[in-house]
């Protein structure tokens, strides 16, 4: 109970410094959170693009429908394949017409080939896997041609890799910067009480006793800063979503993780600052 | 009770502060430690409350050895010592009472006994009526009395005072010195570093003079308490 009371006492005695610490932590985590939102939304967008990766195998004219249906169900059982759907000539025509809208007349009486349209499972949509599946499908004698937008997939994948690496590096930098800023803030709080600490030691308080309220305080500041940062990012996301571009927010698990991260930085930052201080004096 | 055995203290940057000092202070003794600035008085006192450890030799205080003491042992030792400085070291944002109570709170004394003990020591140092005042509202002499009250509140067996009158005028100095004598009369040992020669000449207490890190005069010599090797 004592460390809790002491920590509260610190907030009461130095409300300005405490508020400053919480705000600094909040803004550091806010920056990190904003970056996280950007990364999350880019990943989300790329995943949506990936959903559209599709292999289309065109069927030679005159192939019996039963054969094609049999092949489609064979292909559907490939381990990489999520779905394989048979598209008949009529369906192909209808689809082309609906996609072209007002120009539908150009297809009047035209003949489009039937096809088997397949989608791969998430995580198996990389260029190599797509090519492998396409080649395998090509081995059916009645398959004329297989198309899958090779170049497009490769570009998408390169983009994804760059985004992933950039995200990792930037995320690390942002996290490191928050840790440094928060550490400095906590160090300030420790220095503000340097005299108190020296007197505590002089009259025989143990280091553990001196440390505990700082740990509680750091933890509390971290949690408060984390909460504030979550609120700020939520406001930012809502505004962007409403006025600029559709975005999504962290799910509860990630939000909780962010909060824990704040609490952990607060706790560790305090532990390190106090330990350093106690070693020096 | 306090024993220095061939103690040397060397600082990496400033060199040797205390050199081969052997010394014994007995229970209830009053010792005046004197010498020019830089003679090693403060370093010697710091080794009594184990703020510094000897580079070689051993300091033994009430059963705690500088060679083996852990951080926790040091904390425990300080609860049995009172320490007073020239600059008082009071917390400005706390009242006199709170400053004294602080010494009890941080060692986990039960709240029920704190009030009584604080009142008792404040009465002892003559500040019973100023408990609610803040340090800045007091004179230098009064502030030092608060610091002494804080040092006394744990009933120490010895009071270590490093130039306690260094910042005070003559009148306040005499008052503080009288207070220390009264405290000593109650059985608490006092080790006091001071420049004040007048104070030293007048008194009948044991006087130790230091120069360049060594003891050059000890009025108790050649008593049995002196280092036999010397």
pLDDT digit string (tens) for B163-205?
999 989 989 999 999 999 999 999 999 999 998 877 777 767 8
Task: Please give the average per-residue pLDDT across B221-228, as a whole number.
Answer: 52
- Identify the residue with better confidence: B200 or A205: A205
Residue of A nearest to B84 (CA): A202
Among partner residues B49, B72, B106, which is closest to A200 by beta-carbon distance? B106
Distance CA A73, CA B39 (A): 97
Q: Which residue of B61, B74, B75 to mutate against A (max A Cβ within 10 Å)?
A: B75
Among the partner-chain residues B49, B75, B102, the one whose CB lies closest to the CB of A206 is B75
- The tokens describing A16, both together, are 């300005």
**What is the least distance, in Å, from the CA of A191 to any CA of chain B?**
14
Rounded-to-10 torsion of CA A36, A41, A44, A49: -140
Tens digit of each residue's pLDDT (9 = 90 or more) over A104-116: 676 666 678 888 8
Are B52 and B9 contacting, i.e. CB atoms less than 8 angstroms apart?
yes
Place of tokens 């502060």: B17
Report strand pairing: A81-87 vs B64-65: unpaired
Question: What is the per-residue pLDDT for A108?
Answer: 67
Chain Cα centroid distance, residue B103: 15
Q: Which helix (H) or strand (E) holds B25?
A: strand B15-25
Task: For residues A255-261, give the mean pLDDT.
Answer: 89
In this structure, the dihedral spanned by the alpha carbons of residues B24, B27, B33 and B38, taken in order and rounded to 10 degrees, is 60
CB A141: neighbour CB atoms within 10 A? 9
Percentage of chain A exceeding pLDDT 70: 96
**Interface size, chain A vs chain B, as Cβ–Cβ contacts under 8 Å:** 48
Q: Which two tokens stand for residue B176?
A: 């503080």
pLDDT tens-place string over residues B1-18: 899 999 999 999 999 999
pLDDT surpasses 80 at B226: no
Highest-pLDDT range among A122-126, A153-157, A276-280: A276-280
Q: Is the pLDDT of residue B230 over 50?
A: no
Q: Per mean pLDDT, which range of A1-5, A29-33, A204-208, B144-148 is the poorest? A: A1-5
B interface with A, Cβ–Cβ < 8 A, is: 49, 71-72, 75-80, 83, 89, 91, 93, 102-103, 106-108, 150, 154
Q: Give contacts of A203 with chain B, Cβ < 8 Å.
A: 78-79, 83, 102-103, 106-107, 150, 154
Token reading at B69? 């003491």
- Which of A2, A12, A192, A203 to substitute to test the interface with B, most B CBs within 10 Å? A203
Question: According to the model, what pLDDT value does residue B224 have?
Answer: 44
pLDDT value at residue B26: 94
Query: What's the pLDDT at B225?
Result: 47
**What does the CA dihedral A172, A177, A182, A185 come to, rounded to 10 degrees?**
170
CB contact under 8 A, A204 and B91: no
- Whether the pLDDT of residue B73 is over 50: the answer is yes
Q: Work out the average pLDDT over A119-145.
A: 83
Spell out which residues of chain A touch residue B83, defining contact as CB-CB under 8 Å: 202-203
Q: Tell me the pLDDT tens digit for each residue of A147-173.
A: 887 777 778 778 878 878 888 888 888
pLDDT over threshold 80, residue A178: no
On the question of pLDDT at A19 being above 70, the answer is yes
Closest to B43 measured CA to CA, from B176, B220, B210, B200 = B210
Distance between CA atoms of residues B167 and B173, nearest Å: 9
Q: What is the mean pLDDT of chain A?
A: 83
């Amino acid at each position: 109970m004592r460390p809790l009371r002491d920590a509260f006492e610190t907030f009461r005695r130095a409300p300005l410094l405490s508020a400053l610490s919480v705000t600094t932590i909040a803004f550091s985590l806010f920056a990190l959170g904003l970056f996280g939102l950007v990364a999350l939304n880019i990943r989300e967008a790329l995943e949506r693009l990936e959903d559209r990766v599709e292999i289309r195998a065109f069927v030679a004219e005159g192939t019996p429908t039963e054969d094609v249906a049999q092949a489609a169900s064979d292909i559907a059982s490939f381990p990489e394949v999520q779905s394989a759907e048979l598209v008949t000539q009529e369906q192909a025509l209808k689809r082309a017409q609906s996609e072209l809208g007002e120009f539908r007349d150009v297809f009047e009486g035209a003949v489009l080939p039937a096809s088997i349209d397949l989608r791969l499972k998430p995580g198996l949509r990389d260029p190599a896997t797509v090519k492998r599946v396409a080649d395998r499908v090509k081995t059916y004698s009645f398959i004329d041609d297989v198309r899958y937008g090779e170049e497009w997939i490769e570009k998408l994948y390169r983009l994804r890799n760059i985004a992933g690496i950039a995200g990792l590096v930037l995320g690390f930098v942002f996290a490191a910067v928050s840790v440094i800023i928060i550490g400095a803030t906590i160090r300030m709080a420790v220095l503000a009480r340097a005299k108190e600490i020296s007197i505590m030691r002089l009259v025989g308080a143990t280091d553990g006793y001196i440390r505990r309220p700082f740990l509680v305080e750091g933890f509390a500041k971290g949690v408060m800063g984390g909460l504030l940062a979550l609120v700020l990012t939520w406001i930012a996301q809502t505004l962007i979503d409403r006025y600029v571009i559709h975005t999504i927010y962290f799910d509860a698990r990630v939000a909780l993780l962010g909060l824990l991260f704040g609490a952990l930085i607060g706790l560790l930052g305090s532990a390190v600052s106090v330990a350093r201080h106690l070693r020096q004096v | 009770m306090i024993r220095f055995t061939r103690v040397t203290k060397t600082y990496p940057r400033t060199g040797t502060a205390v050199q081969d000092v052997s010394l014994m202070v007995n229970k209830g003794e009053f010792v005046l430690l004197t010498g020019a600035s830089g003679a090693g008085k403060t370093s010697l006192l710091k080794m009594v409350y184990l703020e510094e450890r000897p580079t070689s030799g051993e300091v033994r205080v009430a059963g705690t050895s500088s060679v083996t003491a852990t951080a926790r042992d040091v904390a425990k030792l300080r609860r049995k010592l009172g320490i007073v400085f020239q600059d008082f070291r009071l917390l400005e944002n706390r009242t006199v009472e709170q400053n004294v109570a602080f010494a009890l709170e941080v060692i986990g004394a039960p709240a029920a006994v704190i009030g009584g003990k604080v009142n008792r020591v404040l009465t002892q140092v003559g500040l019973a009526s100023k408990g609610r005042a803040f340090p800045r509202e007091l004179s230098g002499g009064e502030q030092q009395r608060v610091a002494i009250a804080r040092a006394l509140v744990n009933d120490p067996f010895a009071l270590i005072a490093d130039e306690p009158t260094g910042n005070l005028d003559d009148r306040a100095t005499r008052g503080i010195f009288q207070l220390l004598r009264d405290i000593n009369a109650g059985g608490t040992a006092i080790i006091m570093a001071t420049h004040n020669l007048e104070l030293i000449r007048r008194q009948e207490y044991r006087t130790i003079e230091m120069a360049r890190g060594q003891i050059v005069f000890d009025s108790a010599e050649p008593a049995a308490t002196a280092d036999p090797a010397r």
